[in-house]
A and B are shown apart, each in its own frame.
Chain A
Amino acid sequence: MSDSEPLLDISELRTWFFTGDGIVKAVDGVDLSVRKGEVLGLVGESGSGKSVTMFSALRLVATPGRIVGGSVRFDGVDVLGMPVKELRQIRGDRITMVFQQPNSSLNPCYRAGHQIAEVYRVHQHMRRAERDERAVEMLRKVGIPDPGRRARAFPHQLSGGMAQRVMIAMALAAGPELLIADEPTTALDVTIQAQILELMAQLRFELGTAMVLITHDLGVVAEMADRVAVMYAGQIVEETATRALFAEPLHPYTRGLIGSVPVIGRRQDELSVIPGRVPNLIDLPAGCRFAPRCEARIEAGLTRCIDEMPALVEVTPGHRVRCFLHSDAAESATPVTIGSVRR
């Protein structure tokens, strides 16, 4: 899996929102690739640019947002430059999306089955009877009991978990190569979350669909993803295999993220937090975007972070970090001792 051709290749992507208050640099130079059949977890807090990155990949950014730079290649074809007609053929057929709010992502005017059948209508020009049959089949595949009857239900008659299953059925109906799941479980109950994740894992195993899982839930990532990219203020700060990320997080932000998750069974009077807040995306710090909140930087006595932007450097094979603490180490090959991040 590791050396195969990337299915989706995003490089130097910049998506800015031109608002009345100034330019919001929601995505500012993101490099990301997804290989065939791989699950990539895209992690970051709200407003870090995870969703906008993936929306940009499908050119779904709404005004006042604009993709101002970079390139997106899907299966070797330039997505940003292709005519809208071709783009439409990719959307929903080869790349599909599952959204955060299942109930509002379904059109309240149409029955669930009809909306799944719509995919076949738009992309495969099937006859009606066949469409409906396939839609019911998809509902069965996503584990909806009594699919024939549920196909005739309107979205308001479905529970959140049920609606999300319908969304997944829609997303997988055409047999896509890449599924972008934008916080697919955030709006659901914990037990339903587990069910939906299990379903996605199982379908991914059956269909071999590559997946980008956008989430702020590290637990979801640990369970589902092969590889993780951590985003902060519109940039990727660390990217590596899931196991490596949890075993040895390098970027101070990633450490903070992992450290702030409560662990069942461990007594802790206070959860550790990352001090400060996410920088204003209009008025970004000149150097490393995490520098104002970075404790590791102070402990190591680094000052260049304030004025200079560290590059995303591959410190060990497959492990990329945007931090002077590590890139310097990689360059000079002299190990820099980092003060332990308080847990």
Chain B
Amino acid sequence: MTAIDPVVPDPFEPPISPQGVELGPTLRSRGLWRDALRATFRTRSAQVGSAFLLLLVLLAVFAPLIAPYGPNEVLLDTGVSVREKPCIHLFGCSDDKPQHIMGIDGNGRDEFSRIVYGARVSMLSGVVCVTIGLVIGTLLGLVAGFYGRAADSVIMRCMDVLLAFPALLLAITIVTVLGRGLVNAIIAISLVSIPIYARIVRASVLSIRELDFVAADRALGVRNRRILWHRVFPNALTPLVVQATLGIATAVLEVAALSFLGLGVQPPTAEWGSMLASERNNVFTAFFLVLFPGIMIMINVLAFNLLGDGLRDALDPRLNK
């Protein structure tokens, strides 16, 4: 007879976790969205993206507290000159000169204050554009996908027409027709983004309306409109949320682009794109006046893109590892 190896665990002994916590099935009823949110913030890109975003939101909300000067305050009478280099006391700028951490712009205004206030325009226009595009696009997509037939053909052909033009070119055309200004720029960019959302929603609706639970609801005598809003729409939200987040990045960039071309926000309002445009001829003499707005636009776009990527990674079942 061989000796019994004492290391072999007793197979009949129930497993106990190292912490001594009871092992067993747990059924916690967290919401579907809360689960999704947790999964999202487990991705690195969403963490970084939302950190940047939080920074920008704080900047926009508390602009008056953060900015040392008003965005349109001309400081030429305080002893500074036009396009003066940044003066940061910490980095050896003499203490008797006033501190301007991003320098002075071409009109003698504090660049940093303008950057801070610019966050407001940028964030706001990005969110408003997407909201308008999202709402209209979703409605059109739902109708097209759910009711099909003539509605589908008419709506989707219109969307195809919109998509046939390059987005920015179409936006420029619309602004040219409506007149320049922030509001018109937002309208133009919203219009341009509608087909993207409409197509996404329609595609989801087409697959969802064939699912068993929609048939089950029909068999339960639920009205069509209720099926559309309570069954189909919530299940189509996932790709929409991802696209909307990524869409904000595009919208921010397009607002900046329109402003850069002089079609969007009009001077003297502080907006990164128009700030970039007004100083573009002085890149070699005062690079900081082009660099900082550019960096801000980049950070803003990057933040939404990273967050959008994180959301997609978390919500798209096809990408699940």
Residues of A with Cβ closer than 8 Å to B?
A: 58, 60, 62, 87-93, 96-97, 99-101, 104-111, 118-119, 122-123, 149, 152-154, 157, 167, 170
Most buried by A among B211, B217, B226: B217
Q: Are A122 and B235 in contact (CB under 8 A)?
A: no
Determine if B135 is an interface residue (Cβ-Cβ < 8 Å): no
Partner of B220, one of A92, A111, A153, A154: A92
Which chain B residue has the least Cβ–Cβ distance from A100?
Answer: B212
Known A93-B221, A96-B220; further 14 A-B contacts with Cβ < 8 A: A60-B215, A60-B218, A60-B219, A89-B221, A91-B220, A91-B221, A96-B219, A97-B219, A99-B212, A104-B212, A107-B231, A119-B220, A122-B221, A154-B29
A236 CA to B217 CA in the complex, in Å?
29
Contact A107 B219 (CB under 8 A): no
Chain B residues closer than 8 Å to A60, beta-carbon distance = 215, 218-219
- When the two chains form their complex, are residues A170 and B220 in contact, meaning their CB atoms are under 8 A apart? yes
Complex interface: chain B residues within 8 A of A90 (CB): 221
Q: How far is the CB of A116 from chain B (nearest CB, A)?
A: 10
Tell yes or no: B318 within 8 A of A by CB. no
With known contacts A104-B211, A107-B213, A91–B235 Cβ distance under 8 A:
no
Q: Is the CB–CB distance between B220 and A104 below 8 Å?
A: no
B217: chain A residues within 8 A (beta carbon) = 107
Cβ B212 vs Cβ A108 within 8 A = no
Q: Decide: B235 and A109 in contact? CB cutoff 8 A.
A: yes
Which residues in A have their C-beta under 8 angstroms from that of B29?
111, 149, 152-154, 157
- A124: shortest Cβ distance to chain B, in Å? 11
Chain B residues within an 8 Å CB radius of A111: 29
Alpha-carbon gap, A123 to B211, bound state (A):
23
Specify the chain B residue showing the minimal Cβ separation from A119. B220
Provide the bound-state CA to CA distance between A96 and B215, in Å: 12
Q: Kindly name the residue among B218, B220, B231, B235 whose own CB sees the greatest number of chain A CB atoms within 10 A.
A: B220
B223 touches A88 (CB 8 A): yes
Restricting to B49-75, which residues have a CB under 8 Å from any CB of A?
Answer: none
- Which label, helix, strand, loop or mixed, suits the secondary structure of the A interface? loop
Which chain B positions have C-beta within 8 A of A109? 32, 231, 234-235
Residues of chain B with a CB closer than 8 A to A107's CB: 213, 217, 231, 234-235
| B212 adjacent to A105 (CB under 8 Å) | yes
User: Count the A-B residue pairs with Cβ separation under 8 angstroms: how many?
Assistant: 74
Q: Shortest CB–CB separation between residue A67 and chain B, in angstroms? A: 15
Bound CA span A118–B231, Å: 12
Residues of B within 8 A of A (CB): 27, 29, 32, 210-213, 215-223, 226, 231, 234-235
Contact residues in A for B235 (Cβ distance below 8 Å): 107-109
8 A–B contacts, CB within 8 A, in A order: A60-B219, A90-B221, A91-B219, A91-B220, A104-B211, A106-B216, A122-B220, A154-B29
Q: Which of B27, B222, B234 contacts A122 (CB 8 A)?
A: B222
Instruction: Report the Cα distance A177→B130, complex, angstroms.
Output: 50
Kindly provide the distance from the CB of B37 to the nearest chain A CB, expressed in whole angstroms: 15
Bound complex: CA A111 to CA B226 (Å): 17
Q: Which chain B residue shows the least CB distance to A88?
A: B221
Give, as a whole number of angstroms, the nearest-CB distance from A131 to chain B: 14
Q: Are A91 and B32 in contact (CB under 8 A)?
A: no
In the complex, A89→B215 CA distance in Å? 16
Verify A154–B212 contact, CB threshold 8 A.
no
Contact partner of A92 (CB less than 8 A), chosen from B210, B212, B213, B222, is B222
Chain A residue numbers with a CB within 8 Å of B210 are 62
- Contact A149:B223 (CB < 8 A) given known A99-B215, A107-B213, A109-B234: no
Q: In the complex the two chains form, is B221's CB within 8 Å of A106's CB?
A: no
A157: chain B residues at CB < 8 Å are 27, 29
Q: Which residue of B lies closest to A85 (CB)?
A: B223
Task: Give chain B residues whose Cβ lies under 8 Å from the Cβ of A99.
Answer: 212, 215-216
Once the chains bind, are B219 and A92 in contact (CB under 8 Å)?
A: yes
- Bound Cα distance from A157 to B223, whole angstroms: 27
Residues from chain A with Cβ under 8 Å of B213 in the complex: 104-108
A110 to B210, CA, bound (A): 18
Residues of A within 8 A of B212 (CB): 99-101, 104-105
CA of A111 to CA of B30, assembled, Å: 10
Which residue of the partner chain A has the closest CB to B148?
Answer: A63
Q: CA–CA, A149 to B221, complex, Å?
A: 27
Least Cβ–Cβ distance between B220 and chain A, in angstroms: 3
The 8 closest A-B pairs by CB, nearest first: A92-B220, A91-B221, A92-B221, A109-B234, A97-B219, A88-B221, A105-B212, A104-B212
Q: Which of A87, A93, A149, A167 sits near B216, CB closer than 8 Å?
A: A167
Interchain CA distance A97-B218 in the complex, whole Å? 10
Tell me how far the C-beta of B30 lies from the nearest C-beta in chain A, rounded to whole angstroms: 9
Distance from B155 Cβ to chain A, minimum over Cβ atoms (Å): 19
CA distance A84 to B27 in the complex (A): 41
